[in-house]
């Protein structure tokens, strides 16, 4: 499966600031996704990162708060803007490889974000 590098692995930020998380894959993939996992909870899809076009956001998530870029088939970024303590969470990048509908999503190691 694809090797996914996500950074930073963790950060502590001041409220009101923004942080950009990077996701790099070692092979071209069809789909890239960004999830949030709040403490003690399961994964919630934030958006699908589309190559060369605007990301597709899920209900409850907006581009102004979580701008996403995907300039090519192997790289994407997620920015968490104007952070507040409620944004403290793990943010995970996932990819789905080329090969048809039976391919699972594989996850990066996540970014553990704490906002003070």
Judged by CB under 8 A, does residue 14 bind another protein? no
**Chosen residue from 41, 82, 84, 114 binding another protein by CB under 8 A:** 41
Stretch that binds another protein, among 15-23, 69-77, 79-87, 101-109 (CB under 8 A): 101-109
Q: Does 110 bind another protein (CB under 8 A)?
A: yes
User: Which residue spans within 16-73 are E strands per DSSP?
Assistant: 19-25, 29-37, 43-49, 56-57, 68-72
Beta-carbon contacts of 104 under 8 Å, excluding residues fewer than 6 positions away, are 96
Residue 5 sits in the site that holds another protein (CB under 8 A): no
Q: Which two tokens stand for residue 34?
A: 């960004």
92 lines the binding site for another protein (CB under 8 A)? yes
Does the footprint of another protein cover residue 24 (CB under 8 A)?
no
How far apart are the C-alpha atoms of 113 and 67, rounded to whole Å? 16
């Amino acid at each position: 499966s694809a090797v996914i590098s996500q950074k930073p692995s963790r950060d502590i930020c001041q409220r009101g600031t923004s942080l950009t998380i990077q996701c790099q894959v070692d092979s071209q993939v069809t789909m890239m996704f960004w999830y949030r996992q709040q403490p003690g909870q399961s994964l919630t899809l934030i958006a699908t990162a589309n190559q060369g076009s605007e990301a597709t956001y899920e209900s409850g998530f907006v581009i102004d708060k979580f701008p996403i870029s995907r300039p090519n088939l192997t790289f994407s970024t997620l920015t968490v803007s104007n952070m507040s303590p409620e944004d403290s969470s793990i943010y995970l990048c996932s990819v789905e490889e080329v090969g048809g509908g039976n391919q699972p999503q594989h996850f990066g190691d996540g970014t553990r974000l704490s906002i003070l």
